[in-house]
Structure 1
Amino acid sequence: MWRLSRLLLLLFLVRDCSTSTWQNPNRPFMSLDPNVHYNLSTFTAPDAIQNLASKKGPLLFIATTNHLYVLSASDLHVLQDLITGPTNSSECDLCSKCDMGSARPAQAEDTDSKVLVLDPVEDLLYSCGSSLRGVCFLHEFDNYEILYSSFLFRAASNSPSLCPDCIASPLGTVVTPHVHLRSVLFYVASTVDSNVAGSYGTTSVSIRRMLTSQDGFAADFHSLTVLPLYMNTYPIHYVYTFSTDKYVFFLTVQPESGHSKNYHSRLVRLSATEQEMKR
């Protein structure tokens, strides 16, 4: 009888708990005290921020038109302001490093930031802009500043028909750097049209291998590009990229078909363990 009574009591408690409604306890919302003056760190850019890069450390990199800023991550204080354009400006110290020979555009260009990524291993920053045929700069930095910048272009190794060092498209580019077998690979996806894909043009999707000399990219890279017939009528916009140990992904916005006015998103996946675009 005692066991039966205990069982009935247990069933009653279970039934009572199952039918009750749990409610979130009322907790007062803690807002900022209006009587206290808060000094919050801020940074106001002169133009729209086009790219930023950071990792665990004291520095934050921000790019706008013709500027690359190095900020203290703790208080957003500007430590450096590197001038990246216009390309004919006497204030652009980086532009003086650009030995491109006949490949250098004759007309002065503003530099919009298209790529700003950090090396996955070393304290290196890669910046690629809309000017100078999308060629990139490599920046070495420590905990306080950018120490040295180099131009990743070898005039003798690039031509109008094949330019391994032409990375960024003025229409938009996303890049994921990835280390494979001690080599730094650039997984590059760019929006292109007939003008971009012309002389010294970049490709739609490619895997570029950084040379061990760190002055450019190997010429034997694999790539895919939209067929010339559809290049101006079938735009593929690459809006984001990310990676795992085995794969690199690109998120796109593109027409549903070659003749459709409706757009949708697709996810492109490449192997992160192969330098050839086999799958």
Structure 2
Amino acid sequence: MKLIFFLILVSSLSGCQRGNDYQLVWADEFNYNGLPDSTKWSFDTDGNSWQWGNNELQYYTADREENATVRDGVLHIIARKEDGFNQPYTSARLITKGKGDWLYGRMEVKAKLCGGKGAWPAIWMLPTDLEYGAWPASGELDIMEHVGYEPDSVYFTIHTENYNHTKGTQQGNAVFLPDAEEAFHCYAIEWTPESCTFLLDKEEVFQFEKAKQAGSGEWPFDKRFHLLLNVAVGGNWGGKHGVDESMFPCTLQVDYVRVYQKTK
């Protein structure tokens, strides 16, 4: 099945609504200053040499406040145009791998997105252990993706061996959100053994259900995953219409990240 476009107007709300059977198990409220908390986040730079498989144009740095810093209670992930690196732009890609890995739960991120042609901010999850093999066999959960040449839309998508963009079979929804770059919104997923439900503020916007007798090709979401936050520049999707260099610095702002799991 191809990507389904589901267009709605969602008002900016303070957060996401959750059931009473969830308890908080991990969070970063960003109530400090400086680099992201190293007990919760790592800087991922492993794919710089091969452009992350998407022909992206950024160089992800590590432990550099010019690209990732916390101030005034907000995490800032900043893409910049800079010389002196292997790519024309710098940015940061933060991951919880080895410091926050979960099997099922509710993951919430309250964020304000950066924009401009060429910007590609994302809030997403990848498998920690790759038990079903390399991408896309072990899955991917895109809690939010945004491309700057579509400033009024955000995307919610899953990828598996059978359902992925290289085959044109990825499954997800696009949501009309005209103030995505001006206001904070809560992006969330409720992930259970039976389904992955994506939410924008208090609205359910996409659900991917496990089919009966589904194998890992359709449902690899029974292993540990971790969170990622990043701002890519260009690439096969983000750079489809080029890069507007007047947008830099381009900043993804994150108010909080919270992970809940069911108590029963």
So what's the TM-score if we normalise by structure 1?
0.32
Higher helix share: 1
Higher strand share: 2
Relative CO higher for 1 or 2, CA cutoff 8 Å, sep ≥ 6?
A: 2
Q: Which has the larger radius of gyration?
A: 1
